Amino acid sequence: MSAERPSVAVLEYGSGNVHSAVKALEAAGAAVELTRDRATVLGADGLLVPGVGAFQAVMEQLESIRGGELIDRRLAGGRPVLGICVGMQVLFGRGIERGVETEGLGEWPGTVAELDAPVVPHMGWNTVQAGERSRLFRGIEDERFYFVHSYAVQQWELEVDPPFPQPVLTWADHGGPFLAAVENGPLAATQFHPEKSGEAGIQLLRNWVETLRR
């Protein structure tokens, strides 16, 4: 690991335009590579898993490069992973979109389902209720972040018993509460797009990149 710029691999598996995420991570102080090379993905200080579009399509794209296996191997070694948007959603057990149920990566139990809101998609800026002990939201607890999604996890199902630390959960509201971010050991994720959230989003990524130095 570089003492000055931790290395971050952005997983390239065909999910939309990820160059804004690369630029945002660079602005946050990381040395970034957009790649699907297994050795690079496994060896980087941090891995960012982006995701846009439908849950099922993202899962198919991930499976085509054995992305779930790469994430599993990193987490087994305590190596940090950050999921964004659908890259967060696929970390859960299953997704239900338009009546179609798709198995997720299962890193966390839970279901991604359509928001029960008068207006869907939830598109635009929204505040969050940052969880206590959050490192991602340190110094930006009261900022607004940019969301573009119709589906989310609306109930946290993982039970953690002592001595293991409780995950840090951050919630937002659009027709009802939903998970805006999770911090659980080496695995973290945001439902919103930090790379589209201005300086607050850069600071969140900077906070994450700082954890890679430890």
Show which residues are catalytic: 85, 193, 195
What string of DSSP letters covers 43-92?
HSSEEEE---S-HHHHHHHHHHTTHHHHHHHHHHTT--EEEETHHHHTTE
Q: How are the residues of the chain apportioned to helix, strand and coil, as percentages rounded to the nearest 5? A: 25, 30, 40
H-helix or E-strand containing 208?
helix 198-211
Instruction: Check if the beta carbon of residue 48 is closer than 8 Å to that of residue 36.
Output: no
Amino acid letter for position 181: A
Instruction: Check if the beta carbon of residue 19 is closer than 8 Å to that of residue 65.
Output: no
Instruction: Check if the beta carbon of residue 127 is closer than 8 Å to that of residue 203.
Output: no
In the DSSP assignment, the letter for residue 107 is S
Instruction: Check if the beta carbon of residue 95 is closer than 8 Å to that of residue 104.
Output: yes
What string of DSSP letters covers 111-146?
EEEE--SSSSSEEEEEE-BPPTT-STTTT-TT-EEE
